[in-house]
């Protein structure tokens, strides 16, 4: 493996510059093409237990958890792609060895128990495909984070919600945090605390040059952005 060593994570793939659908295979391939260290994508569980890639809990006006994959797939993405399954997305991402696949497991809108089923199915899929070297997990649901670590000890997992200190994460053996940029502006001491505890630092979603420069100066491990091209420009100056 020769994964990129930069700090750029494309949020839902590199979609914005070329008007590609978010979370599409095309946006993943563009993130790979421009050399991002990571490409983030969001996964939900359909009513017939298919893992699919989409940000919101609805697609084409249909609640994902209450509809079958076949029903959701009737509506194409704006570029003609069928809404991808997590399997399809991972297989596409595994065709290269530069860009990590930042696998966001979305909380269930139905129940915490359904979220646990989702976490298990996600980890089982990653193991089945032998995709572990590519995958970094993230979630807003702390119980999902802990479930991933239970099922795949040593997995690269980061928590998203922003209310837990780096010390709390360290105590729970959670190796990373990935908080909204406003959290670090309010609690800048958490940056040093994370480094002291060897908790990996990621931040979302940083789209302005001014904010990017602040997190570059703070030496974050990753910066997640809708503007990966701009972040590369700043890094290459």
pLDDT at 123: 98
pLDDT (average), residues 180-198: 98
Does pLDDT of 1 surpass 90?
no
Does pLDDT of 205 surpass 90?
yes
Average of per-residue pLDDT values in the chain: 98
Tokens representing residue 192 in the block: 């040093």
Does pLDDT of 170 surpass 90?
yes
Q: Is the dihedral of CA 88, 90, 92, 95 positive or negative?
A: negative
pLDDT (average), residues 188-192: 98
Question: Reduced to 3 states, what is the DSSP secondary structure of residue 32?
Answer: helix
Q: Which residue has the tokens 């837990």?
A: 164
What is the pTM (predicted TM-score) of this model? 0.98
Does pLDDT of 159 surpass 90?
yes
Domain range 8-235, its CATH number among 3.40.800.20, 3.40.50.2300, 3.20.20.190, 3.30.450.20: 3.20.20.190
For helices 112-129 and 86-93, angle between their N-to-C axes, nearest 10 degrees: 40
Does pLDDT of 128 surpass 90?
yes
Residue 130, classified by CB atoms within 10 Å of its CB into exposed (0-12), middle (13-18) or buried (19+), is exposed
Confidence of residue 108 (pLDDT cuts 50, 70, 90): very high
How far apart are the C-alpha atoms of 61 and 64, rounded to whole Å? 9
pLDDT (average), residues 223-233: 98
DSSP character at residue 104:
E
**φ, ψ (nearest 5 deg) of residue 224:** -95, 130
Confidence of residue 50 (pLDDT cuts 50, 70, 90): very high
Confidence of residue 49 (pLDDT cuts 50, 70, 90): very high
Percent of the chain with pLDDT over 90: 99
Confidence of residue 161 (pLDDT cuts 50, 70, 90): very high
pLDDT (average), residues 120-136: 98
Residue whose C-alpha is closest to residue 57's, from 112, 124, 105, 120: 105
CB atoms within 10 A of CB 102: 29
């Amino acid at each position: 493996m020769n994964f990129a060593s930069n700090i750029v994570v494309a949020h839902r793939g590199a979609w914005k510059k070329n008007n590609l659908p978010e979370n599409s295979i095309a946006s993943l391939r563009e993130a790979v093409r421009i050399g991002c260290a990571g490409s983030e994508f969001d996964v939900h569980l359909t009513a017939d237990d298919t893992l699919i890639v989409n940000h919101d809990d609805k697609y084409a006006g249909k609640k994902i958890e209450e509809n079958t994959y076949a029903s959701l797939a009737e509506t194409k993405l704006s570029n003609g792609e069928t809404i991808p399954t997590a399997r399809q997305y991972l297989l596409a991402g595994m065709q290269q060895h530069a860009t990590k696949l930042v696998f966001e497991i979305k909380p269930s809108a139905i129940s915490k128990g359904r979220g646990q089923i989702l976490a298990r199915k996600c980890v089982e899929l990653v193991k089945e495909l032998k995709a572990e070297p590519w995958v970094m997990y993230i979630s807003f649901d702390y119980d999902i984070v802990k479930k991933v670590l239970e099922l795949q000890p040593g997995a690269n997992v980061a928590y998203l919600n922003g209310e837990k200190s780096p010390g709390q994460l360290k105590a729970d053996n959670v190796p990373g945090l990935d908080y909204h940029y406003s959290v670090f502006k309010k609690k800048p001491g958490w940056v040093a605390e994370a480094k002291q505890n060897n908790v990996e630092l990621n931040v979302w979603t940083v789209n302005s040059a001014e904010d990017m420069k602040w997190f570059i100066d703070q030496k974050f491990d990753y910066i997640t952005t809708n503007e990966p091209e701009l972040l590369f420009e700043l890094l290459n100056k």
